[in-house]
Structure 1
Amino acid sequence: MKSHVTVGVDGSPESRAAARWAAQEAVLRQVPLRLVHAVDWPLDPVFPGLGRQDVDRWADQALTEAAQELHGRHPNLEITTRCLTARPAAALAAEAADAGLLVLGSRGLGGLVGFIVGSVATATVVATDTPVVLVRVADDPDNERDIGRSVTRMVDDMLLPWHHKFPDVNVSHNVFMGSAGEHLVRASQGAGLVVVGRHVRRSPLGVHLGSVAHAVLHHAAAPVAVIAHG
């Protein structure tokens, strides 16, 4: 049986770039392509209110969108998808065991030549004997649009439980790239209240206030509420 190419997919621009590269490689090798998404449950507390059903729906959407795009580019390529509940590094390493190649996405360093290799990619490389290719996402306007779409979907999923809990509250949201503090200060013009969070953490020098909360507290034109969270 011919070895396939496996690629990690999570809906991010980095993983989409990796999936495109992996598809081209699979075509060259004349082998199938397997798209893998791993969900480490329960999620980090940074996603409050996001239920298992929401996470599964988002994972299926990420895999479906990636597969549809790749089918459009390579209609004769055999593509399968797998969604696993496990730590991503362990799941990807296990899926790579019978693959000829594992492909992962990695962030580029802006205009510099190089990669930012995340903890999942690092752990996966160490955990597998299968050759691993890290694909850098291109730095261009298309990448910015991809990032915006990916973050918008994530925000939609995070807000969904709160929409159900408070159906009478009209909510709109914007996704932007750049300084969060700067954008919040600008958005405070004409607002009735600006709400920012801060992590509860202490250092030997006392309580630490993040740069975003600091900027809003000093420069916002509206009243500011600071909400502490763990």
Structure 2
Amino acid sequence: MLSPVIAGVDGSPESLAAAEWAAREALRRDRPLRLVHVRDRHPRGHSGEPANAAQRQPAPRALRQAVERMRSVVPDVLVTGEHVDGPATGALLKAAERADLLVLGSRGLSGFTGFLVGSVAQGVVARATRPVVLVRKGEEAEDEHVPAAGGAPSIRTGYLDVVLGIDLADACDEVIGFAFEEARSRRARLRVVSAWQPPSSTSLGPGDIALVDDPERAEEWQGFLHAVLAVWRDKYPESEVLETVVEGKASTALIRAASAASLLVVGRRLPERPTVPRIGPVTHAPVHHVGCPLAVVPHA
């Protein structure tokens, strides 16, 4: 049996937005959708966050309503529901182990334009061994698509770019392959973004001299990126790929690129010691400051 796309639901608007995104993703992947409701009798004690009114709904009703809503939104997807025992972070991590993809909602917007991620979502992203997608409150199907003529929202136009953030010093097949598949399933352009920073006096070693000027250095990084993606272009010849190399901080470049994206894909290196969860500074910034759905793909 195909592993499902799994979405965590609690009856809140943000979790339902995530579930609807997960339903559309299940359709793109030709996978079933499973909605998971965590029964946590002490949500404040376990997560450090008080339960809101939606989270205090009786579990059977919240899950049943979510399943019915997803079946009406995407009738061509097989939708099932499941109750699991909490605490929430551990239960969702366990669910993710048997998922093709785990989808979670954010609690709202941060001080900028992105996610206000609760401790449960942060804990799952920092520990999961499977890809996790964060979906912001208010996300609609139209938000994934290019606006129609006159700027009107539409689901009949093509998809916005899928954006992949790549560190050329640590390019990982799992992350690159995930992004190419997401672009292929949408028939969207894949925009690959890599950032570089010129060496400083503190980063140069004894005897090192910064002989290469910035234009030549940028061209060199562009060549590195093209070489890394060459095998993937051959594997996905139907995909349009835009390679972008920018000077500056990687987190800033990704946040800027995500402003016109249907999905942002970033990697997260799995720690050598599983007991020490980490997200990483480059991934941390998009988690809190992008508006489009964000896929965090763990890799060794």
Question: Aligning the two structures, in what range does the TM-score lie when normalised by the shorter sequence?
Answer: 0.5 to 0.7
SS in 1 for 2:246: strand
SS in 1 for 2:255: helix
Match of 1:8 in 2: 165
Q: CA deviation at 1:43?
A: 4.5
Match of 2:175 in 1: 18
Q: CA deviation at 1:39?
A: 2.2
1:197-208 superposed matches below 5 A: none
Structure 1 or 2: more helix by fraction: 1
Match of 2:189 in 1: 32
Opposite residue 29 of structure 1, the aligned amino acid is R
Q: CA distance change for structure 1 residues 42 and 111 in 2, over 3 Å: closer, same or farther? A: closer
Q: CA deviation at 1:111?
A: 6.9
Q: CA distance change for structure 1 residues 130 and 74 in 2, over 3 Å: closer, same or farther? A: same
Q: CA distance change for structure 1 residues 16 and 56 in 2, over 3 Å: closer, same or farther? A: farther
The answer to whether the aligner puts 1:82 opposite 2:244 as a matched pair is yes
Q: CA deviation at 1:14?
A: 4.7
Match of 1:63 in 2: 225
Match of 2:92 in 1: none
1:41-190 superposed matches below 5 A: 41=198, 43=200, 45-48=202-205, 49-50=209-210, 51-53=212-214, 55-110=217-272, 112=274, 116-138=278-300
Q: TM-score, normalised by structure 2?
A: 0.41
Q: TM-score, normalised by structure 1?
A: 0.52
Q: CA deviation at 1:124?
A: 2.5
SS in 1 for 2:164: strand
Q: Distance in 1 between matches of 2:183 and 2:201?
A: 34
Q: Which runs of 5+ in 2 are unaligned?
A: 1-145, 147-158
Q: Distance in 2 between matches of 1:23 and 1:62?
A: 18
Q: CA RMSD in A?
A: 2.5
Q: Distance in 1 between matches of 2:224 and 2:294?
A: 22
State whether residues 17 and 137 of structure 1, in contact with CA within 8 Å, keep that contact through their aligned partners in structure 2: yes
State whether residues 168 and 194 of structure 2, in contact with CA within 8 Å, keep that contact through their aligned partners in structure 1: no
SS in 2 for 1:11: coil
Q: Deviations over 1:144-189 (max 9, x none)?
A: xxxxxxxxxxxxxxxxxxxxxxxxxxxxxxxxxxxxxxxxxxxxxx
Q: CA deviation at 1:128?
A: 1.2
Give aligned pairs, total.
Answer: 138
Q: Deviations over 1:180-224 (max 9, x none)?
A: xxxxxxxxxxxxxxxxxxxxxxxxxxxxxxxxxxxxxxxxxxxxx
